[in-house]
Amino acid sequence: CVVSVTNVPPPHSTIRPGFPVPVNTNNPGVRKAARFGVYRYNNSSNDLFLFKESQIEKAMVQIVRGLKYMLHVEIKRTVCEKRDHFSLDSCHFQRKKNLQLMLRCYFEVWITPWTHKVHIPVAHCH
């Protein structure tokens, strides 16, 4: 999956390569990584509707030839149907009780900003 990656914040100078460290769940890089995880989930699910991140519960980042994010994310079913190709930002969460669904996911999202590549080796949702 090759995606344009912009606005990835430089890692904090005290972070040593190789050690995962906690990072704020509101960090723009974390939010972007979570969205990439959601895209990966949506591409592999056979659900009629798109899902979107509702809450990033925990985030770690590790510097390994780029930034590797390890994220625990809650995702919920939206009202947008997959076949309509919506921008997720404009998709609202399901309001109909029988269509609401929340999943907990663990995503590993590896971003190498200088090559504009994103690799998502792990995307587990249940």
Does 2.60.370.10 match the CATH number of domain 20-125?
no
Rounded Cα gap, residues 113 and 3, in angstroms: 10
Bridge partners of residue 125, in order along the sequence: 105
pTM: 0.84
pLDDT in tens, 6-33: 444 455 545 556 789 999 999 999 999 9
Question: Using the 8-state DSSP alphabet, how is residue 6 labeled?
Answer: -
pLDDT digits (tens, 9 = 90+) for 39-94: 999 999 999 999 999 999 999 999 988 999 999 999 999 999 999 977 999 999 99
Name the H helices within the chain: 28-44
- Domain extents for the chain? 20-125
